[in-house]
């Protein structure tokens, strides 16, 4: 007998190499031919069903509690190397069926109960000979019995014949043993297999019954031919009896055939009905899918519409202009009692413009309603800015006219009055928040308002300075000293008149004491009130500003506008600060322009009374200049510099005149010494 592929060690090694890494051990491997077959029907070979070379391998995998067994199908790759193709678990093996139309008995099919489609034709395996078939099937049945505790259904194969074959053949096959600590794989010889097969496939009682049955028909071990002839005769007798019985039951057979025919008709009708129902169900399924699709679209559309409605509601709330704000902005009053409502309306207008210009979504910016609402808000803004600017210009002029028409605000004959702008600033402070909002809404409207404020307040300051200077000169009683320096040389009998003129210097100092702090405060108030983004002009509590303690008490709240100080935002607006500082200096010049003439008049008056008072006035001026260096009130510092220059110029004129007198008289008059010059 040719060597079986089950004994091919090289084949077994190739199989183990193909499943390397799976922790499985090959028990048996054998070459087979694979083709397609159908349970109980003849397999017809064609172009699509040509046999294919395969290798069946039985493998096991040890687990702590049990051992798993597998049937592997391996195929040859294009390079002739074995590679895994299929994997079956032997625990799902339910049937082993011998192919009936194969006269050699080498073809069989294996049925597994876990296949997804039982209607698909299972593979048909063809062995080289019956010995290979028996060797593989015995190994499979043996493993199923030992590991699974059950045997699959065997069809077309005589178990007894296989048991006898196992006794006659002594080849090495693989079986399983179960020691105490778990099942392990082991290799047994043919002698051991005989006992295993007899024990597993045929029990002791069955073996005894079989021997008794064989003893009935066999006369001896050498009478096998006689026994075979006897079996043939009995088989012919049984077939004849079966044919006779069939002929006797012909009416019953006809009745059964009629029943089968009617059943076939019913089955065909039922198949037709099922086909119709299947078509209707398919149409219903398509309709349901279409309905579900439309329903999903409707749900999505409903969700989107809801979200769109919410967004549009929010947009409408932003686009809606409250009637009270609209009336206040377009036709409201600017009286002091209505200012909180005007400020509230300005805040709303600023927020609405920002929400439509900056915060609005770009998709909304193209909507016509948004564009129309933007245009409407801009019209309201321009209307409000125009009305507010016109009101403030008239208000500044009216407020200053009212103060200038009341003489009690100014110095009068016999009474010097310190200018007090507390009430003026209080009334202006009412509209500070309005100016802040005007700057946010339209920055260009501030310059005309600043010019109007500076013009109106300049008239008031010049009037106050003129009245104060006139009354100061009138109330100061000082004797004018002669300007003749050489009167002592004419003779010792002439008396020198040395009158005290210190009150002239005191009058000049009083003029500076009153007006320099006032001008600095007005400059600081201007920068805050008219929204210049510059540092604070006068630091709070600065002792160098020349104010008395009483004036500090009176004016401690003069710069408190009730709004955020400008110097809080210097760091945030560094670029615009320098621009506003230049603009502020220009408006300060408009505010204080012309007031220097009254200071010049006081200096000229003091010079005429006593030219030597220029020395004390120069010291007073120098002290104020050093005190104002820390301030940003540029025009006030320029005013002090001009006063210092004028005093120096007058004093230089006096020195030049004195020198001229000495040069003129020293040629004609006899020098009498320097004693007469010492008192002067």
Higher pLDDT, 183 or 22: 22
Residue 384 · residue 330 · CB < 8 Å: yes
- The pLDDT tens digits of the residues spanning 384-408 come to 888 888 888 888 888 888 888 777 6
Q: What is the mean pLDDT of residues 245-261?
A: 83
| Widest pairwise Cα distance in the chain | 200
Q: How far is the C-alpha of 152 from the C-alpha of 148, rounded, in Å? A: 10
Give the helix/strand (H/E) hosting 84.
strand 82-89
Mean of all residue pLDDT scores within the chain: 76
Q: What is the mean pLDDT of residues 83-107?
A: 88
Q: Percent of the chain at pLDDT above 70?
A: 74
DSSP 74: E
Residue 465 · residue 598 · CB < 8 Å: yes
pLDDT of residue 120: 64
For β-strands 93-98 and 153-155, DSSP reports them as parallel
Higher pLDDT, 170 or 479: 479
pLDDT of residue 309: 85
pTM check: above 0.75: no
Question: Would the pLDDT of 601 be above 50?
Answer: yes
Question: Would the pLDDT of 285 be above 80?
Answer: yes
Question: Would the pLDDT of 42 be above 70?
Answer: no
- The pLDDT tens digits of the residues spanning 44-77 come to 444 445 788 899 999 998 888 888 899 999 998 8
List the domain boundaries for the chain. Answer: 6-37+51-157, 234-303
Q: How far is the C-alpha of 210 from the C-alpha of 224, rounded, in Å? A: 16
Q: How far is the C-alpha of 65 from the C-alpha of 21, rounded, in Å? A: 21
Given the candidates 3.30.70.20, 3.30.565.10, 2.30.29.90, 2.60.40.10, the CATH classification of the domain at 6-37+51-157 is: 2.30.29.90
- The pLDDT tens digits of the residues spanning 468-518 come to 888 888 888 766 665 555 444 444 444 444 566 788 888 888 888 888 888
């Amino acid at each position: 007998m040719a060597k079986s592929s089950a004994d091919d060690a090289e084949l077994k090694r190739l199989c183990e190499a193909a499943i390397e890494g799976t922790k499985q051990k090959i028990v048996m491997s054998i070459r087979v031919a694979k083709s397609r077959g159908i349970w109980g029907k003849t397999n017809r070979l064609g172009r699509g069903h040509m046999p294919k070379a395969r290798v069946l391998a039985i493998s096991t995998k040890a687990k702590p509690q049990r051992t798993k067994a597998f049937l592997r199908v391996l195929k040859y790759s294009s390079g002739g190397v074995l590679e895994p193709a299929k994997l079956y678990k032997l625990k799902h093996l339910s049937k082993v069926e011998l192919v009936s139309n194969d006269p050699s008995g080498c073809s069989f099919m294996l049925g597994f109960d876990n296949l997804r489609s039982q209607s698909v034709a299972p593979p048909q395996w063809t062995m080289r000979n019956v010995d290979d078939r028996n060797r593989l099937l015995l190994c499979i049945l043996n493993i199923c019995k030992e590991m699974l505790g059950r045997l699959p259904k065997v069809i077309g194969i005589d178990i007894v014949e296989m048991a006898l074959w196992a006794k006659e053949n002594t080849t090495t096959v693989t079986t399983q043993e179960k020691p105490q600590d778990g099942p392990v794989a082991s290799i047994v010889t043919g002698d051991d297999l005989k006992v295993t097969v007899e024990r597993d496939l045929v029990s002791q009682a069955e073996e005894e019954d079989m021997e008794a049955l064989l003893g009935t028909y066999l006369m001896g071990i050498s009478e096998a031919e006689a026994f075979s002839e006897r079996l043939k005769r009995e088989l012919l007798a049984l077939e004849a009896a079966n044919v006779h019985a069939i002929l006797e039951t012909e009416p019953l057979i006809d009745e059964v055939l009629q029943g089968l025919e009617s059943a076939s008709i019913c089955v065909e009708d039922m198949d037709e009905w099922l086909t119709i129902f299947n078509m209707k169900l398919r149409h219903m399924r398509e309709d349901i899918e279409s309905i579900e699709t439309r329903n999903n679209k409707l749900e999505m559309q409903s969700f989107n519409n809801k979200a769109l409605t919410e967004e549009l509601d929010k947009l409408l709330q932003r686009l809606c202009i409250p009637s009270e704000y609209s009336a206040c902005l377009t036709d409201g009053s600017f009286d002091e009692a209505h200012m909180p409502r005007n400020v509230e309306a300005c805040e709303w207008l600023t927020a609405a413009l920002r929400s439509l210009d900056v915060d609005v979504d770009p998709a909304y910016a193209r909507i016509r309603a948004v564009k129309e609402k933007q245009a409407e808000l801009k019209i309201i803004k321009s209307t409000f800015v125009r009305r507010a600017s016109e009101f403030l210009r008239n208000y500044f002029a009216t407020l200053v006219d009212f103060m200038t028409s009341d003489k009690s605000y100014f110095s009068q004959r016999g009474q010097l009055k310190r200018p007090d702008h507390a009430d003026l600033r209080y009334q202006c402070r009412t509209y500070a928040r309005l100016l802040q909002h005007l700057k946010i809404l339209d920055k260009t409207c501030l310059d005309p308002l600043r010019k109007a404020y500076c013009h109106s307040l300049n008239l008031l300051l010049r009037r106050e300075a003129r009245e104060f200077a006139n009354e100061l000169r009138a109330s100061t009683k000082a004797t004018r000293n002669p300007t003749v320096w050489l009167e002592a040389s004419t003779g010792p009998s002439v008396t020198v008149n040395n009158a005290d003129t210190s009150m002239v210097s005191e009058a000049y100092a009083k003029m500076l004491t009153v007006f320099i702090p006032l001008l600095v405060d007005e400059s600081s108030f201007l920068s805050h009130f008219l929204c210049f983004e510059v540092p604070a002009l006068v630091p709070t509590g600065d002792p160098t500003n020349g104010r008395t303690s009483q004036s500090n008490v009176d004016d401690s709240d003069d710069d408190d506008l009730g709004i955020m100080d400008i110097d809080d935002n210097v760091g945030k607006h560094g670029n615009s600060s320098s621009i506003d500082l230049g603009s502020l200096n220009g408006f300060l010049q408009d505010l204080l322009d012309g007031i220097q003439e009254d200071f010049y008049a006081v200096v000229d008056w003091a010079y005429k009374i006593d030219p030597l008072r220029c020395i004390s006035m120069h010291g007073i001026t120098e002290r104020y200049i050093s005190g104002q260096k820390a301030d940003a009130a540029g025009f006030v510092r320029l005013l002090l510099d001009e006063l210092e220059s004028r005093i120096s110029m007058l004093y230089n004129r006096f020195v030049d005149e004195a020198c001229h007198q000495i040069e003129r008289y020293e040629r004609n008059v006899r020098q009498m010494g320097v004693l007469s010059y010492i008192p002067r």
